[in-house]
Chains A and B, each alone.
Chain A
Amino acid sequence: ETGVTQTPRHLVMGMTNKKSLKCEQHLGHNAMYWYKQSAKKPLELMFVYNFKEQTENNSVPSRFSPECPNSSHLFLHLHTLQPEDSALYLCASSQEATGTYNEQFFGPGTRLTVL
């Protein structure tokens, strides 16, 4: 898991707080992803960045705001969240190229609790 790191590992926030999740990949990949993992539900893809450009936004509420300043770093800015947003947020990266589909490497996740 040293390939993809996430901070913080745990976060408790109130509904009026603003916080950010950070992800860093040390694998030289060109694509990064945010997923939401809730109990007994499939992994939900939230955002995809390819070459720092956002290519996927799966109808995620605007209270989640991604930022990808370079190909190694990915942020998820959070504000005015709801208790149902409590979940494990996973970051992943992969090397994407035309005609190939490579596996994604995941970070350990940030366990978010919204009070």
Chain B
Amino acid sequence: AQSVAQPEDQVNVAEGNPLTVKCTYSVSGNPYLFWYVQYPNRGLQFLLKYITGDNLVKGSYGFEAEFNKSQTSFHLKKPSALVSDSALYFCAVRDLGSGNTPLVFGKGTRLSVIA
């Protein structure tokens, strides 16, 4: 069965500094990987996804993520953080090797960008 881990409950970063939100996954086949963001009192918004191709994926709001097969990781990054990036971030994985499996989410990482 597939699983995803977000090892940090909370990440704090100063505005203008680069940010990284970590995600590792476990699947039996090839993964489809996603990042979502949730602002207060809102649903989840799609940021980016990796299916195949380039390991560096670019998404919304200047975010990008790097797929690393050997480390089974898909960390979310942004070169320069904004206060408005403060939110809850979810990594999710879908296992292509196990038939029609559902999307599995991590428990989320709260990002706080300090001015």
Task: Tally the A-B contacts, defined by beta carbons under 8 Å.
Answer: 46
B43 contact set on A, CB distance < 8 A: 1, 4, 6, 90, 92, 106-109
Cβ–Cβ < 8 Å partners of B44 in chain A:
43, 90, 92, 104, 106
Which one of A4, A42, A109 has the highest number of Cβ atoms from chain B below 10 Å of its Cβ?
Answer: A42
Complex formed: what's the CA distance from A42 to B45 in Å? Answer: 16
Q: How far is the CB of B44 from chain A (nearest CB, A)?
A: 4
Interface residues of A, count at CB 8 A: 21
> In the complex the two chains form, is A104's CB within 8 Å of B46's CB?
yes
Q: Are B46 and A41 touching (Cβ within 8 A)?
A: no
- Evaluate contact between A106 and B45: CB separation under 8 angstroms: yes
If A103-B46, A108-B41 touch, whether A41 touches B102 (CB-CB below 8 Å) is: no
Residue A56 is within 8 A (CB to CB) of chain B in the complex: yes
Q: Is A42 in contact with B103, judged by CB distance below 8 angstroms?
A: no
Q: How far is the CA of A6 from the CA of B44 in the complex (A)?
A: 13
Residue of B nearest to A96 (CB): B100
Contact yes or no, B105 A42, CB < 8 A: yes
Bound-state Cα–Cα, A104 to B47, Å? 11
Q: Which residues of B contact A (CB under 8 A)?
A: 9, 32, 34, 36, 41-46, 49, 51, 90, 94, 96, 100, 102-108
